[in-house]
Amino acid sequence: EAGVAQSPRYKIIEKRQSVAFWCNPISGHATLYWYQQILGQGPKLLIQFQNNGVVDDSQLPKDRFSAERLKGVDSTLKIQPAKLEDSAVYLCASSLEADSPLHFGNGTRLTVT
Amino acid sequence: RKEVEQDPGPFNVPEGATVAFNCTYSNSASQSFFWYRQDCRKEPKLLMSVYSSGNEDGRFTAQLNRASQYISLLIRDSKLSDSATYLCVVLNYGGSQGNLIFGKGTKLSVKP
């Protein structure tokens, strides 16, 4: 079974620039998550999709972050404009259903300078 | 009180030692519980689910105490390869959807 694919693996940008991350979940997984993991902390949920609908985006800083999953498969997460405190690893995960174990991608390590 | 709290690390133990991690959660309605393992600069991976009756997988034993809102993970005969960060994860339901809450993690370092 192919795992969760994410790209890019690394990204370095200056503050106020824009950046986008891409995620392809495991085939057949209805639920897709974006997490932010700051160094030394556990992953923090940014947004959860069930198919192509958003079910939880309560912790997404909507003034600068946006995410979509238009066809219920791939997803993109965008930050515009980036701030220094956005430096983190952005993890995409998918699961068969909302209460099934998560399968994580390798993550995108973002550095904002 | 944070939703999921774990023992502050790091734990530095010799090979063969037994080590225990604790985790407390604040939401008494939490439904499911998990331990994930995260290696340095890698993604978290599911280690084991935690069942009410307690469960064991080889050298790993997970326990749940709903009354005290407490979860534990015991590792016996620790190996060098057990060195990692262990994340306690709690599933809460809000409406019809589950929401997984991660603890900060406890770092384990097993030394020869």
Is the bond leading into B14 cis (omega within 30 degrees of zero)? no
Closest Cβ–Cβ partner in B42, B43, B105 for A42: B105
Interchain pair B103, A42: CB under 8 A: yes
Name the stretches of chain B with pLDDT < 50. none
What mean pLDDT, rounded, does chain A reach?
94
Name, in order, each residue with C-beta under 8 angstroms of B80's C-beta and a sequence gap of 6 or more.
B15, B110, B111, B112
Chain A hits for B43, CB-CB cut-off 8 Å, are 91, 104-107
Whether chain A has a CB inside 8 Å of the CB on B46: the answer is yes
pLDDT tens readout for residues A9-49? 999 999 999 999 999 999 999 999 999 999 989 999 999 99
What is the C-alpha separation between A58 and A20, in angstroms, rounded? 20
**A18 to each of A6, A47, A70, A79, how far by Cα in Å?**
18, 19, 20, 6
Tokens of B87: 């994340």
pLDDT of residue B95: 59
Chain B hits for A43, CB-CB cut-off 8 Å, are 44, 87, 102
